[in-house]
């Protein structure tokens, strides 16, 4: 037996998803106020939350959503228009419902005084007064006399699990009947014999004919709570005005158009003297239900059009993220176990048949890993959309005009990585809004447009994704940063540091160049959060800035924190792994013949610089006569990494390193090999950067 608490938790999950959609849709509606689809989508979300909350006894949410829905209904009916006040207050309403979802005692109680005051303010700000506008979902007959009369043919087929969702199909049909003249024909064809009957399944469907002055949107709203698990189709048969009449179609024509019978059968039956309906039933050419539907269509004096069928996709399920994390962890362990089995089998000198079985196990492990990884990979665009609200609200609060431009939203990242990016991105964008973008008057004085721009760009580079947050503001003030660093003891008065190192001081704990603390910034906490979070996910930060032109912050983030394909290499007795995503090739290197003072190697007719990894890590001992080089590509440039030996491909389960290794150049994480030893995973980009700095 499913408890009511479980139903409420399911409602909460669905409501949170709806509220996320609502925020994005409202921001789109603000940019395109004439888009009727967006307007209807906003209304449907509030309507769904209202009805679902009432079903589970969450009266406060239901009553609050009902009042907001009434305002949105007036908007949809053209009685009020889209405005910044309406969008802003609806966003606040969305936030208030979100808070109620986390407080069951509030959600199930009456409206609070603050809610009542807010709703009154909302109505006043948009010029909507309930006493002057009818709030019913369907206007009264008197108010709709001038609307055309439509006759609709609706097929309503509830899903087998409808009762388990707490749905009552008869209540839906009863509500539809209140909107006009309704004829309902039940279809019992799915009902089995009594011994096979399952009382928990809804086996009846309905053919509904309704003559009404209501719009299609109003009709669809009746089915809004059941459409996710039902098959529903709407067919507007014709529009009938008071002056028009339509000649009925013949019964045979209607049955052929519906696909209930073919033309040959109709022609054969028509040769008989009996009524066509009687003969079709006698010969079991059509079912009684199909005949009744065709007769009712004929009775309605309508011409049938092609049915509009809405087939709801039931192939997706909602899974809690912790279960997905557990699955990924188990797959990682499976990959490690396979590597150990393969290593043990080879060491023990097993026969070919045993090796074949182990290799087949490896292929299945690969496939399972790839499928699990694809489940965890989600587009980062879903995160981007949440920042439009942040920019809108803060720019208004700061008195600035700022536009957020996003690109690369379809770039995919591991969901665990995306979850850890939300806070860093919020702090960087807030910093750009407050510190970066100037006031409109200052921008005009420097020959810039009044509206500032913040760009949020994602692009994949090898085994990582680069997130670029760039604003066209006043840039970083190096003198102010230096002055603050000296006052906090981070720099000496006469100390000279590279510009990049100076820029990175803004990520120090408690560091802020703002003299006064505001609600947005000034405490020196936000950028410190960015730095710590990037360390947790094995990412890095790069900063570039030019005075009065731009500030660009680039976050370099690993694609996943779980499993990657790698190339196992060795220096002396130490094993390392190079991510396969950055590798373009390998070659042999003979130091006696190819050695030069500038560490240059020829690869595919091109001269490439390379890094001797034995020297990079300070590994003692003699170099082998024949070494092997791995060619990697970074930012459209190729480099070589020289190792003693390339061993081969390796499925790499990523294991995070402790704080002691966080600042180790060229190392991102580690992995456990099949023999139980540890291999360090190399960060090719940081290796190249460190090598370039060493040369300077």
**What is the end-to-end Cα distance of the chain in Å, rounded?**
71
Q: Quote the pLDDT of residue 661.
A: 72
Alpha helices in 56-158 (DSSP H): 59-76, 84-101, 104-107, 113-126
- C-alpha 562/C-alpha 328 separation (Å) is 7
**Average pLDDT value for residue range 423-451:** 88
* Cβ-based neighbour number of residue 203 at 10 Å: 16
pLDDT computed for residue 300 by the predictor: 58
- What does the chain come to in residues? 696
Q: How many CA atoms lie within 13 A of 426 on its CB side?
A: 17
Q: What is the pLDDT of residue 471?
A: 92
Q: What is the CA radius of gyration of the chain?
A: 34
Under a CB-based contact definition with an 8 Å cutoff, are residues 211 and 181 in contact?
A: yes
The 8-class DSSP code of residue 250 comes to P
Distance (Å, rounded) from C-alpha 696 to C-alpha 694? 5
Q: How far apart are CA 691 and CA 685, in angstroms?
A: 10
* 132 DSSP 8-state letter: G
Residue with tokens 């070919």: 352
Tell me which residue of 447, 405, 669, 675 sits closest to 561, measured CA to CA.
669
Quick one: tokens of 418? Answer: 């995306």
Q: What is the residue-wise DSSP string for 575-588? A: EEEEEGGGEEEEEE
Strands 637-643 and 606-612: parallel
**Is 569 in contact with 646 (CB distance < 8 Å)?**
yes
C-beta separation of 636 from 607 below 8 A: no
- Contact (CB, 8 A) for 615 and 571: no
Residue 495 CB burial class (10 angstroms; 0-12, 13-18, ≥19): exposed
Least confidently predicted of 233-247, 341-355, 472-486: 233-247
- 338-369 residue pLDDT tens: 888 887 887 777 777 888 888 888 888 888 88
Map tokens 């150049």 to a residue: 665
Residue 305 has a pLDDT of 39
Tokens of 498: 């590279």
Q: What percent of the chain has pLDDT over 90?
A: 7
Does residue 495 sit in helix, strand or coil? Answer: coil
Question: pLDDT tens across 188-230, in order?
Answer: 878 888 888 888 888 888 888 888 888 888 888 888 878 888 8
* Predicted pLDDT of residue 420: 81
Cα distances from 509 to residues 193, 396, 422, 524, 530, in angstroms, run 73, 28, 19, 6, 10
């Amino acid at each position: 037996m499913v408890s009511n608490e479980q139903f409420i938790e399911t409602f909460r999950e669905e409501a949170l998803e709806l509220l996320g959609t609502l925020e994005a849709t409202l921001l789109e509606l603000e940019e395109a106020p004439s888009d009727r689809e967006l307007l209807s989508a906003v209304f449907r979300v509030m309507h769904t939350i209202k009805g679902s909350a009432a079903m589970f006894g969450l009266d406060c949410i239901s009553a609050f959503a009902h009042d907001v829905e009434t305002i949105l209904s007036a908007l949809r009916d053209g009685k009020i228009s889209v405005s910044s006040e309406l969008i802003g207050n609806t966003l606040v309403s969305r936030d208030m419902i979100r808070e109620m979802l986390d407080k069951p005692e509030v959600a199930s109680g009456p409206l609070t005084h603050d809610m009542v005051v807010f709703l009154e303010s909302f109505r006043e700000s948009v010029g909507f007064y309930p006493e002057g506008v009818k709030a019913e979902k369907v206007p009264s007959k008197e108010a709709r006399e001038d609307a055309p009369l439509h006759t609709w043919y609706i097929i309503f087929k509830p899903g087998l699990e409808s009762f388990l969702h707490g749905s009552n199909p008869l209540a839906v049909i009863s509500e539809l009947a209140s909107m006009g003249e309704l004829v309902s024909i039940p279809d019992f064809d799915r009902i089995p014999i009594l011994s096979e009957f399952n009382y928990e399944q809804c086996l009846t469907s309905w053919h509904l004919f309704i003559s009404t002055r209501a719009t299609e949107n109003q009709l669809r709203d009746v089915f809004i709570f059941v459409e996710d698990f039902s098959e529903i189709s709407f067919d507007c048969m014709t529009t009938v005005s008071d002056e028009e009449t339509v000649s009925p179609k013949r019964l045979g024509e209607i049955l052929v158009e519906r696909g209930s019978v073919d033309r040959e059968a109709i022609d054969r039956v028509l040769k008989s003297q009996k009524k066509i309906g009687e003969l079709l039933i006698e010969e079991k050419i059509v079912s009684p239900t199909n005949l009744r539907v065709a007769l009712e269509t004929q009775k309605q004096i309508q011409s049938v059009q092609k049915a509009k069928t809405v087939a709801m996709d039931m192939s997706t399920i909602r899974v809690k993220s912790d279960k997905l994390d557990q699955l990924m962890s188990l797959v990682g362990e499976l990959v490690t176990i396979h590597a150990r089995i393969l290593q043990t089998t080879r060491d023990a000198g097993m026969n070919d048949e045993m090796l074949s079985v182990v290799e087949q196990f490896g292929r299945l492990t690969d496939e399972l890993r790839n499928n699990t990884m694809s489940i965890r990979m989600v587009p980062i665009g879903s995160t981007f959309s949440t920042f439009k609200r942040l920019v809108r609200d803060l720019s208004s609060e700061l008195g600035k005009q700022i536009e957020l431009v996003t690109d690369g939203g379809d770039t995919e990242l591991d969901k665990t990585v995306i979850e850890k990016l939300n806070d860093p991105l919020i702090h960087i964008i807030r910093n750009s809004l407050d510190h970066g973008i100037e006031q409109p008057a200052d921008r005009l004085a420097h020959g810039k447009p009044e509206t500032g721009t913040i760009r949020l760009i994602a692009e994949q580079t090898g085994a990582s994704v680069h997130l670029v947050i760039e604003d066209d503001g006043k840039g970083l003030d190096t003198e102010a940063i230096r002055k603050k660093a000296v006052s906090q003891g981070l720099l000496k008065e006469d100390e000279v540091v590279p510009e990049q190192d100076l820029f990175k001081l803004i990520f120090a704990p408690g560091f802020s160049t703002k003299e006064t603390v505001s609600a947005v910034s000034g405490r020196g906490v936000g950028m410190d959060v960015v730095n710590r979070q990037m360390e947790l996910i094995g990412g890095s930060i790069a900063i570039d800035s030019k005075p009065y032109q731009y500030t660009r912050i680039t976050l370099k983030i690993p694609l996943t924190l779980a499993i990657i394909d790698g190339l196992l290499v060795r220096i002396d007795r130490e094993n390392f792994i190079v991510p396969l995503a950055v590798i373009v090739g390998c070659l042999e290197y003979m130091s006696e013949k190819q050695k030069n003072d500038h560490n240059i190697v020829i690869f595919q007719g091109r001269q490439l610089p390379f890094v001797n990894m034995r020297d990079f890590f300070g590994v003692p001992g003699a170099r082998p006569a024949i070494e092997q080089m791995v060619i990697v590509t970074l930012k459209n440039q190729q480099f070589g990494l020289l190792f003693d030996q390339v061993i081969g491909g390796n499925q790499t389960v990523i294991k995070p390193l402790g704080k002691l290794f966080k600042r180790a150049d060229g190392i991102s994480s580690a992995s456990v090999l099949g023999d139980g030893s540890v291999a360090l995973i190399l960060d090719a980009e940081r290796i190249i950067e460190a090598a370039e700095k060493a040369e300077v």
